[in-house]
Structure 1
């Protein structure tokens, strides 16, 4: 069965699970989808995983302007085949925060290329959604590195005085990652709190510090 036929079959399965109420209630940072059936994430994940991994098919689905197909792509892709040469492909398709979060959960955090991706996607000038996806993926890593503390804080610093919605989004990603790192041991906890304390008194920074204060209480 070719990719088009397989996509049609998968889309038919998603269409049977459509939920207009879910679609109407969705809120996310970024662009809307061309087509959205409102399939719940648990259902979408189950249907996407049913056929196993197929990296090339996943990339084909990711090019479609259909919510359920783009999200399914992250579950069908093979994390072992995520290499630096593909970073631009996956990053370029992150239209909104929902896609960034699902990419982090299903694909990015499971790849051995995560350290390289984190470095590339948190670099100055990287798109907001790539930075957010990298932060969320790193937060899910089995052994989050203390070396990620400074890039996480700097991502918030760069955005804090610019785009308020983007800054809040990056602060949320930084909270997830810094909590994961700071929870490993007391040395990391103190390093996280010091780095967060170096941020200027802007809303995103205050949110970050406030969240970390109670999440990392001694």
Structure 2
């Protein structure tokens, strides 16, 4: 079966897992995908388990701009073949928190040079990508993968602006990240602790 046939088979399988109630709920919450089958994340993982990881197939799924296709793309993309430059390209069209989190957790944290993604994600005028960046940085630190000075500068520089925006999803991801830095052996731990205290979030 070539990748065109796999793509067709994957899209046909969506009918078996579709959830109209969930899809409608997502639309009401502003998750307005071109097409949204409302398939749960566990079911998407079940679908993904039937296929080998494949960069070409992942690219084809991402190009579909369908919620389920894009989420499967993050699961079927081989991390060793995803470059930082291509990750930035993919992220440019992310417009939901759910997809941003899937990218951070399933793919971006595993690619070579992932720390170099933090700054371009935070440079984007897109709250979803800021959430992705904070989750990504936290995951890397938990794996004891060092962040470079540019990543730390971007994180601490964006934190104040994101805090002022007061979007609860962004603030939650940001505070989790900063609290992890504070409790680490990072040379930026003390600076980060002061920043959280300035925000009144040192006991968040």
- Give the TM-score taking structure 1 as reference length: 0.78
Alignment of 1:42-57 (within 5 A): 42-57=42-57
Tell me how far 1:59 sits from its aligned partner.
1.0
Residues 44 and 72 in structure 1, CA contact (< 8 A), matched pair in contact too: yes
Alignment of 1:96-115 (within 5 A): 96-115=96-115
Tell me how far 1:151 sits from its aligned partner.
2.8
- Identify the match of residue 154 of structure 1 among 142, 152, 157: 157
Partner Cα separation in structure 1 for residue 42 and residue 108 of structure 2: 19
Alignment: residue pair count: 200
Unaligned ranges ≥5, structure 2: none
Tell me how far 1:28 sits from its aligned partner.
9.4
* Partner SS state of residue 17, structure 2: coil
* Counterpart for residue 136 of structure 1: 135
Alpha-carbon spacing, 1:151–1:85, altered in 2? closer, same or farther (3 Å): closer
Alignment of 1:145-184 (within 5 A): 145=146, 147=149, 148-161=151-164, 163-165=165-167, 168-184=168-184
Tell me how far 1:153 sits from its aligned partner.
3.4
Residues 100 and 132 in structure 1, CA contact (< 8 A), matched pair in contact too: yes
* Counterpart for residue 201 of structure 1: none
Partner Cα separation in structure 1 for residue 28 and residue 121 of structure 2: 20
* Counterpart for residue 213 of structure 1: 203
Alpha-carbon spacing, 1:107–1:186, altered in 2? closer, same or farther (3 Å): closer
- The superposition leaves residues 153-182 of structure 1 with CA deviations (integer Å, 9 ceiling, x where unpaired) of 322322444x554xx332222122223333
Residues 32 and 95 in structure 1, CA contact (< 8 A), matched pair in contact too: no
Tell me how far 1:149 sits from its aligned partner.
4.9
* Counterpart for residue 127 of structure 1: 126
Partner Cα separation in structure 2 for residue 30 and residue 107 of structure 1: 24
Alpha-carbon spacing, 1:30–1:135, altered in 2? closer, same or farther (3 Å): farther
Residues 62 and 69 in structure 1, CA contact (< 8 A), matched pair in contact too: yes
Tell me how far 1:144 sits from its aligned partner.
5.5
Which stretch of structure 1 is more off in the superposition, 42-51 or 152-161? 152-161
